Structure 1
Amino acid sequence: MGMDDDRGDRRAELAGSHARVTARIEAACAAAGRPAADVRLVAVTKTYPAADVLHLAALGVTDVGENRDQDAAPKAAEVRAAGADLRWHFVGQLQRNKVKSVVRYADVVQSVDSVRLARALADAAGRLRERPLDVLVQVSIDGDPARGGALTGPGADPEVALDRIAAAVAEAPALRLGGVMAVAPVGWQPEAAFERLAEVAAGLRAAYPAATAVSAGMSADLEAAVRYGATHVRIGSALLGKRPGLR
């Protein structure tokens, strides 16, 4: 089998998985009484090559997610050089020493979970970008500080308190507060996790009406996320197949 055949097989594989995921999102929206246009698919392409991103772009995917800067930066450059204009979401834990790199290609950082990180992003975005960087605050559903995510409620450390992080983002001219992101904790029913996130998101919108984004739900639990108001679902394996091991 030649290289062109290999590419054709991969294109066909991705077309089939994209159709199945799109159908799931549409069915979940219908069950929740929401328009399908309310939910945006973010294709999480970590560990997969730029060629797959370009195949997905040809299928109509407009948003891609990455979680490791060392992989994402060259991939974004390669995709851009090939002429695809996509919206790049950084969805992984972000170290402050990677901020200057990430703000050059990311349109959205979904994983802001400390005041220090928000301020580092604001500083770098102000110097290195022409347009504001969209930011989602990553929320800890179960309150476990070891897992990361902003904390809610009285007594939260101010450095990682949701209201303090949101204020730091909202006050920064180079940032735009888009909403919240979360992952359902292991051991939690997705419905319980996303119901809790919906409550947090509603509280944030009350203070910041433009912060309407709710990034929740992955391949295994997107239906529950859509039921509880997700506006973005982050889909990896259901689109791209079983993930190769992280390098």
Structure 2
Amino acid sequence: MTGSPAERLAAVRANIAKAAGLARRSPNDVTLIAVSKTHDAGAILPLIEAGQRVFGENRVQEAEAKWPELRTRFPDLRLHLIGQLQSNKAEEAVALFDSIHSVDRPSVVEALAKAMSKLGRRPECFIQINIGEERRKGGCAVAELPGLIEAARAAGLPLAGLMCIPPADVEPAPYFALLAKLGRQHDLPGLSMGMSGDYETAVMTGATHVRVGTALFGERH
């Protein structure tokens, strides 16, 4: 991992712009989420100072420990929950996050709807699909998607789109293409897909949100 945080951020943004150009898209239509899980405020600050404003966390508890103070200093920061959400953490998630990318079962839909009504906050939601049908990965099955979307809309969740994590070590493009197709079918334009190893492919396939950690922060501690 070479270069300063600002240089790494500039490189990722340049790659997004190049991939968007190849797909005849505007890079402004792609939100770069800097995945700051396991990184402390000292590692996050240089990216904020370089202009990054959107960050992603995997765990509610970890985010609660470091983000309130940072958001007091930088009120324009946006925070996305990209890890699995337990129903009993829904209220904390609604209080802290601006977007939740891991809505994957009816119990989470119900818990989020209840928390949003109670707190008067309505973070946008993405439904996570287990796009590779992997046993140990979160996300709803493709066959269950229509029912979950219906339940989320009936509960009044502000649905923004779909999210996936393709299987590791295989070509991700077909999985990204499938997510894009499902998004079109269900009139959900947001596509949260692509990480450090494949975000350019994701952008070329229609990603509106890419979740990049290692390419910005270096290897996880």
Which bracket does the TM-score occupy, shorter chain normalised? over 0.9
What does residue 21 of structure 1 align with?
A: 12
Match in the other structure for 1:101: 92
Change (3 A) 1:126 1:103: same
Is contact 1:87-1:107 (8 Å) kept?
A: yes
Q: In structure 1, what is the Cα distance between the partners aligned to 2:43 and 2:74?
A: 14
- Check conservation: 1:73, 1:102, Cα contact below 8 A: no
Percent identity between matched residues is: 38
Alignment of 1:231-246 (within 5 A): 231-244=208-221
Which one of the candidate residues 127, 132, 139 is aligned to 1:149? 139
Q: C-alpha displacement at 1:243, in angstroms?
A: 1.0
- Residues 60-80 of structure 1, C-alpha deviation per residue, up to 9 Å, x if partnerless? 212110001121112121212
After superposition, the C-alpha distances for 1:26-66 in whole angstroms (9 at most, x for unaligned) are 11111111111111100000011123333222222121100
* Structure 2: 5+ residue stretches without partners: none
For residues 134-172 of structure 1, give each alpha carbon's deviation from its aligned partner in whole angstroms, at most 9, with x where no partner exists: 10000111223432211123xxxxxxx211221222223
Equivalent in the alignment of 1:134: 124
Which aligned pairs between 1:224-235 and structure 2 lie closer than 5 A?
224-235=201-212
Which of the pair has more CA radius of gyration? 1
Q: What aligned pairs does 1:32-71 form with structure 2 within 5 A after superposition?
A: 32-71=23-62
State how far apart, in whole Å, the 2-side matches of 1:226 and 1:83 are. Answer: 28
Change (3 A) 1:187 1:215: same
Q: Secondary structure at the match of 1:196?
A: helix
TM-score by length of 1: 0.84
Name the SS of the counterpart of 1:178 in structure 2. strand
Give the alignment of 1:101-120 within 5 angstroms: 101-120=92-111
Structure 2 length as normaliser, TM-score?
Answer: 0.93
Gaps of 5+ in 1: 1-11, 154-160, 206-210
Aligned counterparts of 2:168 and 2:43: Cα–Cα separation in 1: 29
**Counterpart Cα distance in 2 of 1:51 and 1:238:** 17
CA distance in 2, matches of 1:52, 1:238: 13
- Secondary structure of the residue aligned to 1:217 is coil
User: Is the CA contact 1:63–1:86 (under 8 Å) kept in the aligned structure 2?
Assistant: yes
| Equivalence for 1:167 | 150
- Which stretches of structure 1, 4 residues or more, deviate above 3 A after TM superposition? none
Match of 2:116 in 1: 125
- Supply the AA of the counterpart residue of 1:238: A
Does the CA-based 8 Å contact 2:19-2:200 persist in structure 1? yes
Q: 2:173 aligns with which of 177, 180, 191?
A: 191
Name the amino acid aligned to 1:90: L
Q: CA deviation at 1:241?
A: 0.8
Aligned residues: 219
Contact 1:53–1:79 under 8 Å retained in 2: no
CA RMSD, Structure 1 to Structure 2 (Å):
1.5
**Structure-1 separation of matches of 2:89 and 2:190:** 24
Q: Quick one: distance in 1 between partners of 2:178 and 2:125?
A: 20
Whole-angstrom distance in 1 between the partners of 2:206 and 2:48: 25
- Return the alpha-carbon distance in structure 1 between the equivalents of residues 101 and 126 of structure 2: 4
Q: 2-side partners of 1:42 and 1:151: how far apart?
A: 25
1:84-95 maps to which residues of 2 (within 5 A)? 84-95=75-86
* Contact map agreement 1:115 1:165 (CA 8 A) in 2: yes
The residue number in structure 1 matching 2:162 is 180
